[in-house]
Structure 1
């Protein structure tokens, strides 16, 4: 082995992996809204120290995926329809505009990447992998946002991705929703591929309205 090759894993790598795993656990519904997170149990499950865990929890708190209350510890925020409505309203403002702008700006290479992300979502929908559905749908929209020609719009949306994925997971939990989402996302893709800004905006808005309705049904059934 070359003497200058350092294989030590840095604390930052441990923290990043911890954040990723906890984020996925939240998206998948392993931790239910309103439930407390017991630090000692998480340390054992993740095989990490308490300081590393607390650094990860602070990152998740910044993403609004958990809340840390003094003398009570971390917990998953309770879902309210008011919060969900606000998220979907902002999504409509950002994603509908991004889809329209993307239709007139995306390069052939990036269009192929968008097609690949759609295929990945289709595979996740076919295999009924709810977590993969959430992540591949996020990838699909991240490509659209990255090609909308407005870095501020993309930046604002990126700050909401974690909470969008949280509610997307609830929406996708309904029977048949993943296949419906696939059809809606294909319509968005086809409009963008055709360079039709108006159709892309319409398809994106239609997708969001149906996703919002599905999320409402999922949340109502959980109460």
Structure 2
């Protein structure tokens, strides 16, 4: 007789789902920088209790996607261009090196996964689904980082992922930027597929340079 399986959903699962939904809403631009988040409205929208919401908000605060100010409550921070520059500088240090290392060592099955993620991004780029653009681009880079052969490098990048995705969502809101990203990511994929570490580093650096310029433009609008 098979053992009994406990299918009850735990509050932790509810909290994690709430974090995911709110994170995507921030990335997609549903909540603009400077927007105050009203807890009662969020509870109604998400269908969760206030304690579960507050746990989710604390997680987002740790990712620096929201700020919780005493006597004011949670809001979306207005990130400065200096903060954006710092993020892009660190991205360049991590992603350019990861791309080169990945080109030299990625196994065939992971290269196929990278190709599928690029195809998923291509589909998202041709749609108006801003969330899909952000998540599929993140998946593409997560495969590169996971196959760079340096778990510390991957861990450091993961710690920045939320803020990277925030700026990625901003830059891809510009007309034509998603298509530009697709062309740049395709060049990066080709370099990795060819095992060309030098070309992979060059493609990754070019992509970041153009992404940074797009983010600058989006913050000026």
Which bracket does the TM-score occupy, shorter chain normalised? Answer: over 0.9
In angstroms, what is the RMSD of aligned CA positions? 1.0
Cross-structure match for 1:178: 178
In structure 2, how many angstroms separate the alpha carbons of the residues matched to 1:145 and 1:209? 19
TM-score of the aligned structures, taking structure 2 as reference length:
0.97
Matched residue SS, 2:149: coil
Give the CA deviation at 1:44. 1.2
In structure 2, how many angstroms separate the alpha carbons of the residues matched to 1:190 and 1:124? 20
In structure 2, how many angstroms separate the alpha carbons of the residues matched to 1:145 and 1:4? 39
Give the CA deviation at 1:17. 0.5
Matched residue SS, 1:104: helix
Which sections of structure 1, spanning at least 5 residues, go unmatched? none
Regions of 4+ moved over 2 Å = 2-7
Deviations 1:154-176 (A, max 9, x none): 00000000000000000100100
Give the CA deviation at 1:7. 2.6
Deviations 1:19-57 (A, max 9, x none): 000001101111110111111111111111111000000
Matched residue SS, 1:195: coil
Matched residue SS, 2:77: coil
Which sections of structure 2, spanning at least 5 residues, go unmatched? none
Aligned: 1:107 with 2:107:
yes
Give the CA deviation at 1:80. 1.1
| More moved, 63-72 vs 162-171 | 63-72
Query: Number of paired residues?
Result: 220
Deviations 1:105-143 (A, max 9, x none): 100000000000000000001123211011000000000
In structure 2, how many angstroms separate the alpha carbons of the residues matched to 1:50 and 1:129? 29
